[in-house]
Amino acid sequence: MLFKQQALLRQKLFVLGSLAIGSLLYLVARVGSLDRLQPLCPIDGRFGPRGQDEMPLRALQFKRGLLHEFRKGNATKEQIRLHNLVQQLPKAIIIGVRKGGTRALLEMLNLHPAVVKASQEIHFFDNDENYAKGIEWYRKKMPFSYPHQITIEKSPAYFITEEVPERIYKMNSSIKLLIIVREPTTRAISDYTQVLEGKERKNKTYYKFEKLAIDPNTCEVNTKYKAVRTSIYTKHLERWLKYFPIEQFHIVDGDRLITEPLPELQLVEKFLNLPPRISQYNLYFNATRGFYCLRFNIVFNKCLAGSKGRIHPEVDTSVITKLRKFFHPFNQKFYQITGRTFNWP
């Protein structure tokens, strides 16, 4: 009886052992097949087609690592020399226009691994005091970069300041110039809104937009009002064309950059002779902010400052109509000169 029980126990143990070994072999085979089926890097599949994640990682290497330390002033001269870093004069400048989206354009272009931006507006060419300090002072205001990278700065006051075209021409007659524009009336109201907010922060009063934009004596558009003058794009562009051919300008649609930024950025890449690197991966819509934000890599995202996208005050519709009628012939000439047409009323 005891012998039979021992034999039965050995039989059960054999069956259980066989099942365990079979299960182990199955798991080994399964894991091996999965390894063959899955990409070498398991996270590749999160970012869409291969290549879209490569640019942000290079941008991280170039701009969030070593270059960031140099910008903070933490590098020695020996480190700068070893890494072959230089402070280059800009090869492209965003010259305007104010409240057209210059900051958004600069930050978005900074997504490209071959672009390095000057963080602050330098105001070298439009400020007599700064300009008197000389070109080397200007160069030292530029960020450290690798020789193959393009340095870009932006100062929207450049577009409307009379002395600037000649000064930039003397620095570099072949420089590439970026102008970002919005519908002129909307831009003028946005300009007013920014000034109004500054007055309110200082508890100061300010005229309504209608009173500034319309001459009370003639009831016509007040061309002495700076916000109106800035929106007459063709008048300013004609001054620039005395020094630079139209081929050295690229016009960016500021309204489209808000709603559909990627196509506009791809046009700029082409204008700057940059390989296409900015992709939809780098841009995501923030529903809370109502704007596109920037994605440099898997961990680093950035949205524009909260001051962007201010709510405009309500403006009398008759004033808006009058302004649009006033800007219309200037807009038509702007289309003709630049070869780019916008759907402005």
Q: Is residue 211 marked as binding? A: no
Q: How far apart are CA 26 and CA 170, in angstroms?
A: 75
pLDDT above 60: residue 11: no
CB 54 within 8 A of CB 63: no
Percent of the chain at pLDDT above 70?
Answer: 75
Mean pLDDT of 36-43: 29
The sheet with strand 92-96 has its strands ordered as: 115-117, 150-154, 92-96, 176-181, 249-253
100 annotated as a binding-site residue: yes
The whole-number average pLDDT for the span 273-298 is 89
Q: What are phi and psi of 195, to 5 degrees?
A: -65, -40
* Biggest CA pair distance of the chain: 123
Q: What angle do CA 338, 340, 343 make, to 5 degrees?
A: 135
Q: Is 50 annotated as a binding residue?
A: no
8-state DSSP, 43: G
Provide the pLDDT for residue 70: 56
Write out the DSSP string of 330-342: HHHHHHHHHS---
Please give the positions annotated as active site: 99
Q: Is 154 helix (H, G, I), strand (E, B) or coil?
A: strand
Q: Known binder of ligand: residue 101?
A: yes
Higher local confidence (pLDDT), 6 or 224: 224
Task: Please give the radius of gyration of the chain, using alpha carbons only, rounded to the nearest integer.
Answer: 29
CA distance 275 to 269: 7
The dihedral built from the CA positions of residue 164, 165, 170 and 175, taken in this order, carries a sign that is positive
Q: Residue 312 annotated as binding?
A: yes
Residue 46, pLDDT above cutoff 90: no
Average pLDDT over the chain reads: 83
Q: Is 292 labelled a binding residue?
A: yes
Q: CA–CA separation, 156 vs 337, rounded Å?
A: 20
pTM of the model: 0.77
Q: Where are the alpha helices (DSSP H) in 141-202?
A: 164-171, 184-201
Q: How confident is the model at residue 147 (pLDDT cuts 50, 70, 90)?
A: very high
Looking at the DSSP assignment, which residues form a beta bridge with residue 144? 87
Rounded Cα gap, residues 2 and 101, in angstroms: 92
| CA angle at 57 for the pair 55 and 58, rounded to the nearest 5° | 65
Q: How far apart are CA 190 and CA 180, in angstroms?
A: 14
Which two structure tokens, joined as six digits, stand for 195? 């000034």
The answer on whether 310 is annotated among ligand-binding residues is: yes
Question: What pLDDT sits at residue 247?
Answer: 98
CB of 264 closer than 8 Å to CB of 253:
yes
| E strand intervals along the chain | 86-87, 92-96, 115-117, 144-145, 150-154, 176-181, 249-253, 283-286, 291-295, 301-302
What CA–CA distances, in Å, run from 305 to 4, 63, 68, 103, 288?
83, 20, 20, 10, 13
Query: How many CB atoms sit inside 10 A of residue 273's CB?
Result: 10
With a pLDDT cut of 90, the percent of the chain lying above it is: 64
Determine whether the annotation assigns residue 318 to a binding site: no
- Please give the pLDDT value at position 203: 86
What is the dihedral angle through the alpha carbons of 288, 289, 293, 299, rounded to the nearest 10 degrees?
-50
Confirm if 301 and 294 have CB atoms less than 8 A apart: yes
pLDDT at 182: 97
| Domains of the chain: residue spans and CATH | 81-336 (3.40.50.300)
Q: Is the pLDDT of residue 65 over 60?
A: no
Q: Are 278 and 287 in contact (CB under 8 A)?
A: no
Query: Does 65 show up as a binding residue in the annotation?
Result: no
Q: Which amino acid does the sequence have at 281?
A: Y
Q: Is 112 annotated as a binding residue?
A: no
| Predicted confidence (pLDDT) per residue in 152-205, tens digit | 999 999 999 999 999 999 999 999 999 999 999 999 999 999 999 988 888 888
Q: How deeply is 230 buried, as exposed, middle or buried, from its count of CB atoms within 10 A (0-12, 13-18, 19+)?
A: buried
pLDDT score of 28 more than 50: no
